[in-house]
Amino acid sequence: MQKDKLDIMPAARALLAVFFIYPLLNRIQNYARAHGHQAQFSSALMCIGYIGGSMLAQLPDPYWLISVASCIFLIPPFLALNDAKQNTPGLKLILMQKFSMPQWILIAVCSILWLLILAAMFILETPQ
């Protein structure tokens, strides 16, 4: 939004991600290629994999956990974008070497939450 000076609503794009993910992946690929990165991913396959993987959240317990892995399809575009940004002249980057305290707190809270979810699914018996 800031780089391209677009008038967009990020919250609406997040809610309607199914419609915006393919154009976003294409823009990332074009930007990466324009800045020297040979993007080695197919936008269509990454989009299908991400959306298809996300739809697996509708599976019954514990199979819905497979949907968490759908973020794997966003790793190649993320790496391409980061590489392209590092090769973009005039773009100021801040590279973090370690996590900050708020990030560590968030990691701890989310880890506890995931442990509770897994405990509820696998350890506790649910009445039928």
CA gap 83, 87 in Å, rounded: 6
Q: Tell me: the pLDDT tens digits for 77-128? A: 999 998 888 888 887 888 888 999 999 999 999 999 999 988 888 787 666 5
Range of the domain at 58: 10-94
Rg for the chain (alpha carbons), in Å?
18
Residue 88, domain member (yes or no): yes
Do residues 21 and 47 lie in contact, with contact meaning Cβ atoms separated by under 8 Å?
yes
How many structural domains comprise the chain?
Answer: 1
Q: Tell me: the pLDDT tens digits for 15-68? A: 777 888 898 899 999 989 888 888 788 899 999 999 999 899 888 877 888 898
Residue 105, domain member (yes or no): no
Please give the model's pTM, rounded to 2 decimal places. 0.74
- Which tokens go with 88? 């973009």
Residue 127, domain member (yes or no): no
